Amino acid sequence: MVRQHVNPLSLFYRQPRPLPPLVELFDDPALPLHLDIGCARGRFLLALAPQEPQRNHLGLEIRRPLVELAEADRIAAGLGNLRFLFRNANVSLDDWLRSLPEGRLALVTVQFPDPWFKKKHHKRRVLQPGLLAALATALAPGRELFVQSDVPAVIEPMVALIEASGCFTRPPADARPWRADNPLPLPTERERHVLAQGLPVYRVLFRRNTAPVPAVADLEAAARAADNPGDGADPAAAAVSPTPSPTP
């Protein structure tokens, strides 16, 4: 049995595992890239990749047994525009994202991430300030970041952090606070399960704008403000910084 959750802060999962270059991952490495962070068993991407052959799709998952199962299915299906990798996104993605050709990253999705309800465990959640800064650096203006969850206590701090960065805006026609529909052509397994029970799914589509990426320390302050909404802090103000993050 695969554990439902693993602790991403444990020593084993904190070991950096560099990602291979695109040329080692895909049949056509020049295609636009969709990065799905927390892809679980991979069934969403296994269904999506044949429908979207114009993109490469990379699923990252922290539970190795799920990645092994997903990769076996991918190989059996002969999908050259899809790969699954066992990685902790908050440890191993930054340098790889910086190495991507400019404009190659077209879409990032974070769908139904592990909730980690206890406040002392919030640092285990997937969308940490450093990861958001790395994604904002890699996404060219107009490229998209899509997040969704069925747990308000999970999605609300994610949205607060993204908006506080100043690097993303919502499409003008999108409803607030949540989109009524999924902009992707297929739902995830979790999404189908939630909707089948008549329960809500909370979704937001963001587009990268031209604002510089704030310092990670400012984003960490915004994350703390989002985690403590009753203390009077304004998470949007916490992340405003005229100084972009340094680039190597």
H helical segments located in 31-118: 43-51, 64-77, 89-92, 94-99
Do 17 and 87 touch, CB atoms closer than 8 A? yes
Helix (H, G, I), strand (E, B) or coil at 53: coil
Helix (H, G, I), strand (E, B) or coil at 233: coil
Active-site residue, selected from the candidate residues 114, 174, 227, 234: 114
Cross-strand bridge partners of residue 79: none
Sheet holding 144-149, edge to edge: 82-86, 56-61, 33-37, 105-111, 144-149, 202-208, 168-169
CA separation for the pair 148, 127 (Å, rounded): 12
Neighbours of 146 (CB within 10 A): 20
CA separation for the pair 126, 114 (Å, rounded): 8
| Residue 231 annotated as catalytic | no
- What does the DSSP 8-state code read for residue 214? B
Catalytic machinery residues: 114
